[in-house]
Amino acid sequence: MKDLLSKIKFLEAAAPAVAAADIEGESIDLQGFESCVFGAVIGAGAYEATKKVGLVLEESDDDDTYTAVDAADYDGDLTAVAATIAANEYRLIQYRGYKRYARLSFDVTGTLAANVLLGAWVVLGNPHLAPTA
């Protein structure tokens, strides 16, 4: 088996939380890495038709002013999850942009049921210097 552990860095991108409102993701400093994949989980729950959870991928040069990432600079599905989902929904989003900072946030429309868990992580890969830990 080849070593992967020393070639990636795994970070929390949005602390798991039972959410009823938007969650702003953590700022992820991409300096020193050539690849980045965010993972998100949207917990099972009964949403009403007018309530949904979307994902927002943003980027920044200065970790202060964030803008939405152009569709050409990411791979994955950011579309909102609406209505009732019976099982957890998982999404992987690869950031391919060139900014130093990125973050993945949750955009909640309406108020969700109290049992809806949201959370995200990020895996940074292809480090300039390894091992990463």
What value does the mean pLDDT of the chain take? 89
Domain ranges of the chain: 5-125
pTM of the model: 0.90
pLDDT at 48: 67
Give yes or no for residue 85 having a pLDDT over 80.
Answer: no
Beta-carbon contacts of residue 1 (< 8 Å; ≥ 6 apart): none
Query: Domain 5-125: which topology?
Result: Jelly Rolls (2.60.120)
What are residue 132's phi and psi, to 5 degrees? -85, -20
Distance between CA atoms of 21 and 14, rounded to whole angstroms? Answer: 13
Beta-carbon contacts of residue 94 (< 8 Å; ≥ 6 apart): 35, 36, 37, 38, 74, 75, 76
pLDDT at 117: 86
Beta-carbon contacts of residue 83 (< 8 Å; ≥ 6 apart): 47, 48, 49, 52
